[in-house]
Amino acid sequence: MRVILSGGGTGGHIYPALALAEVIKQHDSDVEFLYVGSERGVESSIVPATGMPFKKLTVQGFKRSLSLDNIKTVNLFLKAVKVSKQIIKDFKPDVVVGTGGYVAGAVVYAAQRMHIPTVIHEQNSVAGMTNKFLARGASKIGVAFDVAKSQFPAGKAVLVGNPRAQQVAHIKSDFSWQTLGLRDDKPTLLIFGGSQGAPAINLAVIAAIDQFNERSYQVVIVTGPKRYDNVLNKLKEKNIAAADNVRIVPYIDNMPEVLVQTAAIVSRAGATSIAEITALGIPSILIPSPYVTGDHQTKNAQSLVDAGAAVVISEPELTGQSLMAAADILLLDESVSEKMAAQTTKIGMPDAGDRLYSIILDAIAEKKV
């Protein structure tokens, strides 16, 4: 099998594609991949580091207000489609898979015009603009949230989950909290605002840290590399020092291994985070980012709340007090955390990659009929 993967702009589009590649390799050791990403996107460094062949396109996003820059966006898109057609012609894929982002729009659209089977994957509860544009011409559509199915042509979308969940669900971890000077026999709350950190979450933690210092559970706070010094300075201004059961770190580069040893998590509600949380059955306090398209993180989080699998605090309601109260519910009442963990596991899809692989095979088979 020969597969072109395309997705870019954020890790939420890239990591599901790479997780899918792992699954396909497990089923077909002879598979050949080509990843087509954007020249300026983070995929241009992430993907080559895996050893996967990578080609670049020049694209940019649309401005949501009237702007002459959108004329340039259209011209770049048309040029990217032309280049994509040549890439497809040279590589001769059996299928082209798009996981979102503007670059996937050009690659998948080119494949559709060339009558190559195409599959798109939507990670969020609110469909992105690129996937909506590609939906009518797609052979198959996989979604990570059931609510997203109604946003695509009737009967075309299938609930498959997020391939990242399968990748994380089967990870083996020998991580020890002792590496941070903590104990492995105490429940640990991980507070993580994303790879860059989240100022609102950091401020709530600063306001609550005195109380965290008094709790029987231990706490690890990931501030984000650029915000680490700021957090330490604010704590110093307040004459607050982390106690034996609290650790403040700028970044964690082995997050899946750490999550396996986490009792509960405070997190944003991005698609990748939710895939990881549900795959591992971790009780969560979700704080959706209000700065994303279509407020999709709030809708992502609501899916877990409806299933009894998470607590949500909106960013305007986030304070040290509200964060502390939610954390105590999860970590001081074992019956609550056990029930929430069970519900989280129920909605997790540890076979998401296999499910997506299955509809990819269907798309290829239908083309041959």
- Identify the band that residue 294 occupies on the pLDDT scale cut at 50, 70 and 90: confident
Q: What is the pLDDT of residue 197?
A: 85
124 among annotated binding-site residues: yes
Q: What is the pLDDT of residue 292?
A: 87
297 among annotated binding-site residues: yes
Bridge-based pairing state of the strands 264-267 and 284-286: parallel
What are the tokens at 9? 């702009």
- Identify the band that residue 67 occupies on the pLDDT scale cut at 50, 70 and 90: low
What CATH fold (topology level) applies to the domain 2-164+350-368?
A: Rossmann fold (3.40.50)
Amino acid in the structure at residue 85: K
For the domain 177-347, what is the CATH code?
A: 3.40.50.2000
- CA–chain centroid gap for 51, Å, is 21
What are the tokens at 302? 């609501």
Helix (H), strand (E) counts: the chain: 14, 13
Report d(CA 95, CA 109) in Å as an integer.
Answer: 12
287 among annotated binding-site residues: no
254 among annotated binding-site residues: no
11 among annotated binding-site residues: yes
98 among annotated binding-site residues: no
Q: Are 151 and 127 in contact (CB under 8 A)?
A: yes
Bridge-based pairing state of the strands 310-312 and 284-286: parallel
Q: What is the pLDDT of residue 65?
A: 60
Q: Does this chain's domain 2-164+350-368 share its CATH topology with 177-347?
A: yes
- 133-152 confidence digits (pLDDT tens): 999 999 999 999 999 999 99
- CA–chain centroid gap for 131, Å, is 16
Amino acid in the structure at residue 241: A
pLDDT of residue 329 exceeding 90: yes
Q: Are 364 and 94 in contact (CB under 8 A)?
A: yes
Report d(CA 176, CA 85) in Å as an integer.
Answer: 49
Q: Kindly list the domain boundaries of the chain, sorted by start residue.
A: 2-164+350-368, 177-347
